[in-house]
Structure 1
Amino acid sequence: MTAPAASAAPTVDVHAHVLLPEVEALVAGLPGHGEARALDARRNGPAALAVSGPMVRERLPRLTDLTVRLAAMDAQGVDVQLVSPSPSHYHYWTDEETAEKVCRLANEATAAHCSAAPGRLRGLGLVPLQHPGHTVRALDHALDQGLAGVEISSHAPGRELSDPAYEPFWTRAEETGAIVFLHPFGCTLDERLDQWYLSNTVGQPTENAVALSHLIFSGVLDRHPGLKLVAAHGGGYLPTHIGRSDHAWSARPDAGAGCAHPPSSYLRRLYFDSLVHDPHVLRELVRAAGADRVLLGSDFPFDMGTEDPVGALRAAHLPQADFDAVRGANASALLDLALS
């Protein structure tokens, strides 16, 4: 499908979440669950947990109730959401059998949620990054459910996204045209970020930058140029600090050994959501990656998102063609949305 006319394209939010209680019921009480929850508590700190619990409970209707979601979308002026499971559902601590159950349940539940409003919602599933040998099957299962692709974190325990064990997954994602939404959950800086919600404000953009750097410097994007990878949170710190990566690539043989081109050139092979919370940073993201590579994102409905994604985009004062591209034309083409 050719890209729709920018002015006619629907407004598409590619960063929106659904909460799946059935996934949490599946893993509750299993060996390793308590340890995973304790690690999450250490990484975030008690003050953050005291705020996050009530915040999620208050937003539970928007995360689970289709009617409430659609009403909120209407209020925001959003026509279509690309809905992904809450990253809290990754559960990369689970064994192979449980991980397969988690992914299948998440895929089926997300597909069911989205299928109730097919003109308004598209969905993403999950794959078990902790078990690379199962990722292709989980991706195929997600696509079989009618989902547009899958959501992944920035790493799995003991494995970076540059790990050769993921090559079959990247190959399958590329050949199927599946969207891979890179959304970190948790930061390995751990207790260094356990105050003032640094686990999110610093941790998420750091994890995005590290994960994308692994994909660039390792040559994954050279080997899979057709990969449709969307980075949450505007790609974190990387797009605005990519000059340092370019310098290392040209100045040091160890930095430049894995990828064929300057790191900055790969930004135009990736997609980024617009959720950077600063109009000046958003303008720089558009400059660095290209207006055709930035997609509207809100992190619906969490408090670290934006209640007015179109307004946040408008505040960047982009040229009208760029505004329309980010607002929906780019995502419409990526998701192959038919115009009504």
Structure 2
Amino acid sequence: MTAPTVDVHAHALLPRIEALVGGLPGYAEARALDARRNGPDALAVSGPMVRDRIPALTDPAVRLARMDAQGVDVQLVSPSPSHYHYWTDADTAEKVYRLAHEATAAHCAAAPGRLRGLGLVPLQHPDLLVPALDHALEQGLVGVEISSHAPGRELSDPAYEPLWARAEKTGAVVFLHPFGCTLDERLDRWYLSNTVGQPTENAVALSHLIFSGVLDRHPGLKIVAAHGGGYLPTHIGRSDHAWRARTDASAGCAELPSSYLRRLYFDSLVHDPRVLRALIEAAGTDRVLLGSDFPFDMGSDDPVGALRAADLSEADFHAVRGANAAALLNLSPA
């Protein structure tokens, strides 16, 4: 018996959420901010790209057929990060996460042996985080997806301590997937908002979790960082140097920053076999999971082939292909 091939980075589009928030106060401003951050050229490409992928994002039968073609047995399905809507008020935010959980659970119920789901939590309303996580788990989801920050709050904010404590206690997976980059117009050309913005946001968010001591206080957290953790794992030496050289850098965490990489999980979506090998060296083979960003254009249509291109040992290849995720998600062998 071998571990199933598991893709931990795959998305679903949930139209009921957009129907709920469209036209509400703040919606137009949020759309305008997104447009400003990405720039007109990116939006002109992204619109048709997403429309072409709506069947794969919404129809479980199409999803399963694509998974078969890719050789993927199980997907961990998370809502599109465009559904975060961290601008909403508390009442709307609760409606958003409830809709997200019910819709994702229904989508995954089409093939419960092959689809597992994640929910959402409203980072802009810390008092709703634990109820939102609990609701996700009650719906049969295995955890939640979060962005790299919320307006005015970093992931190091003490207001998030109850979320980390509850996630640790329940064993819930927390999938860290940024949406939007606060560098704004500096990245509004050539799709820099994604190619530079996403790995930057990953690195900043993970640094807040490490340097603030969140991972010291909650060593059992199951955090999975999208996009291979961005720039941090391959540039962690600079963080280690700062921790050794400066009292302000070392004040919040007990150990070298690089040691915390082995307390986190990372997907394999780095688009470069050399970077993937470096990620595995930095974090450990048991901490890297297959990820594709299904079905978006910045993902991989052949995640298993991309993993094979890294020229790993057979044991490491199969660990990343599925054994690590199977252990994390408590999946049975294929």
CA distance in 1, matches of 2:333, 2:176: 27
* Residue identity opposite 1:231 in structure 2: A
- Counting only pairs closer than 5 Å after superposition, residues 163-178 of structure 1 correspond to structure 2 as 163-178=157-172
Shift of 1:40: 0.1
CA distance in 1, matches of 2:332, 2:169: 22
Pick the aligned partner of 1:153 from 140, 147, 150. Answer: 147
CA distance in 1, matches of 2:297, 2:303: 13
Pick the aligned partner of 1:249 from 233, 240, 243. Answer: 243
Pick the aligned partner of 2:94 from 88, 100, 113. Answer: 100
- Counting only pairs closer than 5 Å after superposition, residues 258-337 of structure 1 correspond to structure 2 as 258-337=252-331
Pick the aligned partner of 1:123 from 117, 126, 142. Answer: 117
Question: Deviation string for 1:137-192 (max 9, x for gaps)?
Answer: 00000000000000000000000000000000000000000000000000000000
Q: Secondary structure of the residue that 2:333 maps to in structure 1? A: coil
Q: Does 1:222 align with 2:232?
A: no
Which stretches in structure 2 are left out of the alignment for 5+ residues?
none
Q: Secondary structure of the residue that 1:82 maps to in structure 2? A: strand
Q: Secondary structure of the residue that 1:241 maps to in structure 2? A: helix
Which stretches in structure 1 are left out of the alignment for 5+ residues?
none
Q: Secondary structure of the residue that 1:230 maps to in structure 2? A: strand
Q: Secondary structure of the residue that 1:75 maps to in structure 2? A: helix
Aligned counterpart, 1:210: 204
CA distance in 1, matches of 2:128, 2:192: 33
Aligned counterpart, 1:54: 48
* Residue identity opposite 1:60 in structure 2: I
CA distance in 1, matches of 2:129, 2:94: 9
Normalising by the residue count of structure 2, what TM-score does the alignment of the two structures yield?
A: 1.00
* Residue identity opposite 1:93 in structure 2: W
What is the alpha-carbon root mean square deviation over aligned residues? 0.5
Over the matched positions of the two proteins, sequence identity in percent amounts to 84
Contact 2:71 2:304 in 1 (8 A): yes
Shift of 1:287: 0.3
CA distance in 2, matches of 1:264, 1:69: 37
Question: Deviation string for 1:271-325 (max 9, x for gaps)?
Answer: 0000000000000000000000000000000000000000000000011110000
Shift of 1:339: 2.2
Q: Does 1:90 align with 2:84?
A: yes
* Residue identity opposite 1:316 in structure 2: A
Contact 2:175 2:223 in 1 (8 A): yes
* Residue identity opposite 1:85 in structure 2: P
How many aligned residue pairs are there?
A: 334
CA distance in 1, matches of 2:11, 2:171: 21
